[in-house]
Structure 1
Amino acid sequence: MTASRGRTGRPPLTEERRAEIRLEIARAAVDLFVDQGVAATTGEQIGQAVGVSARTVWRYFPSKESCVRPLLTAGIDVIAACLREWPPGRPLEDAFAWQLEDDERLLVGPDPTTVGALVRLTRTEPGLRAVWLQTHDEAEPAFARALAERAGLPDADFRSTVQAAMFNAALRAAVEHHAWRATDTPADRATARTELAEALRSALAVVARGLT
């Protein structure tokens, strides 16, 4: 009888490490897209920039455009948490913009200058535009649940659904406004975050006033 052999090879990656790899791929993809365009960028190039094979890139993402998703989805849970924690009686445009500037959970997120470069690409790259809009579409139910929880209402509450749609549209408009007005000389991270907070504050103030 031969002795059974133990399992060999590399240990499986943790979920945290998988998330790190996905984010590394996303950053590398954006850098390449900015430098040479989406059409000229290959999966092999993206993998080389991160130190992984093209096969690994495709294991995580179905297309090169979808590689950017982690940069766009990284803040959804944090934003939803901010909505749940929004103090009663405090204007949303003040409460949320303050959190964006000072909340440590948001400070560890993707560099806003990198996200800004990606959003600017969505103006001319239809594939990236589709990913950007799909990300917001998928985020909206999370925002609706957060608002319903804050108000003590059922998840499917219609009012929370409408409020989430308005908030989501304001969030997208603010990020696009900030990204599209950026100069060719990128601001430092702190400045970019402050400027983005101001754009969001202005957008939410418009929502708060409603249609007149």
Structure 2
Amino acid sequence: MTAPRGRTGRPPLTEARRTEIRREIARAAVDLFVTQGVASTTGEQIGRAVGLSARTVWRYFPSKESCVRPLFSEGIDTIAAFLREWPPGRPLEKALDRWLTTGQGIAGGPDRATVGALVRLTRTEPGLRAVWLQTYDEAEPAFARALAERAGLPADDLSVRIRAAMFNAALRAAVEHYAWRGDPAEGEYAAEEGEGAAAAAVLEATLRQALAVAAEGVG
């Protein structure tokens, strides 16, 4: 008589846990990229920082540069959610006020300083730059769907696509402007520990300025 067959070993990971592992890998990769450079960072080092093997890291990401993608895409997802919830007939700047003051926006994100340091690296690291731009390229259809739903138009409507492209470009330009001017080497301001409130205010002001310009076409 044989024993009943069944699943052995550890139970499969939940989607929430997989997402958290991706974020842990992303944060570890950024820390290593900032402290020792992208070229000097290996998959083994990234995995060791979070208690994983390099083989496991590569199951989640195809390259070391792509490890940072969750930190980029989470901000994009938050923006898309904001656009979907933007009430019809309400000016963008008014909706933005509520979004930022309730802590739902990028300025309230837990990885603001980390993402700022990462975006600064995209100026000199082509691999990271490619991931950064690809994230926004893939975000544009999500923005278009959100704006189309709000306007009661199809997502492939030309006016919707143009507005989504304008919003997308304004958002990327604002984050880059904030991050690049925040480079300590340039001496203007930095998102350092102890200066979080000031850094959040600067990012918030930059977003408002950029999106106010975009609102002329979006709203």
Aligned AA for 2:199? Answer: A
Shift of 1:93: 3.4
Aligned AA for 2:209? Answer: S
TM-score with structure 2 length normalisation? 0.88
Cα 1:114–1:181, aligned 2, differ >3 Å: closer, same or farther? same
Where do residues 163-178 of structure 1 align in structure 2 (5 Å cutoff)? Answer: 163-178=163-178
Q: Equivalent residue for 1:3?
A: 3
Q: Equivalent residue for 2:191?
A: 186
Give, in whole Å, the separation in 1 of the partners of 2:177 and 2:94: 18
Cα 1:133–1:61, aligned 2, differ >3 Å: closer, same or farther? same
What is the count of residue pairs matched by the alignment?
210
Shift of 1:92: 1.8
Cα 1:178–1:140, aligned 2, differ >3 Å: closer, same or farther? same
8 Å CA contact retained: 2:22, 2:60? yes
1:199 to 188, 198, 206: 206
Shift of 1:4: 2.0
Aligned AA for 2:123? Answer: R
Q: Which stretch has the larger CA shift, 197-206 or 94-103?
A: 94-103
Give, in whole Å, the separation in 1 of the partners of 2:41 and 2:101: 34
Shift of 1:115: 0.4
State the structure with bigger RCO (CA 8 A, min sep 6), 1 or 2: 1
8 Å CA contact retained: 2:23, 2:70? yes
**Identity over aligned residues, as a percent?**
73
Q: Which stretch has the larger CA shift, 123-132 or 192-201?
A: 192-201
Cα 1:110–1:136, aligned 2, differ >3 Å: closer, same or farther? farther
Q: Equivalent residue for 1:21?
A: 21
Aligned AA for 1:146? Answer: A
> What value does the CA root-mean-square deviation take over the aligned residues?
2.0
Where do residues 43-82 of structure 1 align in structure 2 (5 Å cutoff)? Answer: 43-82=43-82
8 Å CA contact retained: 1:84, 1:146? yes
- Describe the superposition over 1:130-169 as per-residue Cα deviations: whole angstroms up to 9, x where unpaired: 0000000000000000000001111221111100000000
8 Å CA contact retained: 1:122, 1:128? yes
Q: Which stretch has the larger CA shift, 154-163 or 74-83?
A: 74-83
Cα 1:155–1:172, aligned 2, differ >3 Å: closer, same or farther? same
Give, in whole Å, the separation in 2 of the partners of 1:178 and 1:124: 16
Query: Which stretches in structure 2 are left out of the alignment for 5+ residues?
Result: 185-189
8 Å CA contact retained: 1:29, 1:67? yes
Q: Which stretch has the larger CA shift, 148-157 or 106-115?
A: 106-115
Query: Which stretches in structure 1 are left out of the alignment for 5+ residues?
Result: none
Q: Equivalent residue for 2:187?
A: none
Shift of 1:106: 5.6
Q: Which stretch has the larger CA shift, 145-154 or 96-105?
A: 96-105
